[in-house]
Structure 1
C-alpha cells in the first residue's frame, strides 16, 4: 500500500484499515537523544530519534509507509536495505518481507502545539523542561 496523500500530515481511516490488515507489529524500540548533538546541553529546537520497528506482513512484496514527521531523515533501513523515499511526513516502505525490521534515525523538531515533544525554558529558574502526552497519532513526531 503506497500512500495516497504523501504530503499530508494526516492518517485517513481507509489507510489505517489497510495498513492494519497488512501489518502486525511485534515491537517498537525508541531512543531519543535530547542533547545538542555533541552530547552537551539539551538541543534548543531539534532532537534525534532512533526507532527500531519489528513487524510481519500478511502480503509479502506489498508496500506501505511509516508515519514520520521530521525535518530530516538521517538514515533508514528496511531489512538491511536503505530506504530514502521520504517527504517530511511519510517514509515509503517498498517490497515488504514476511518478517521485517525497520531502523530509522531522524532529526525531529520540538513542538509548541502540545503534539509530539514540547520543550520550554522556565523564565524563573532557567530550567529546561520537556513534556509529551505521546498520544497515538502524535508519536510519529518522535
Structure 2
C-alpha cells in the first residue's frame, strides 16, 4: 500500500494519477468508473462526494478524502474539453477498459487489488461493517459475511 501511495504521488501524468486515485480512494468497479459523469462529482465546502451507480442500478454516494479531491480538481482544471464524462482520454474520447488497464499496467495493479485496498483502509479506520457494505457494495448483505473475516484479519 505504501509503495502504491508513493508511486501515485510521484506520477507526473495527471490523468494516470487521477484515474488510479479514483479506484484507490473510492473502491469503485471498472463498470462504475466508465459511467461517471461530471455531474456525479459534488464538490462543496462541507463534503465532497461521488455519486456512483452500479451495473444493477444501485446508487450510492461515496465521501471523498482530501487527497482524491485535490487530484481530481487538478485534473479537471487541465481538461480542455467540456464533455460530460468525468474522465476522458488525452484525445477527449470516452474511457474504455483498455485505457484503464494500460494505466493499471503502469502501476502493476488491477481494479480488484485497489478495491480491496480501499476496503482494508476503511476497516483500519474502524468504519463499521454495515457502513462499508453500503459504501462499497451498495448494501449487499452477503458481502458482509466475507468482510467479517477480513475485518478480523486486519484488526
Normalised TM-score (structure 2): 0.23
**Which structure's residues are more often helix, by fraction?**
2
**Which structure's residues are more often strand, by fraction?**
1
Query: Which of the pair has more CA radius of gyration?
Result: 1
Higher relative contact order (CA 8 A, sep 6+): 2
Normalised TM-score (structure 1): 0.25
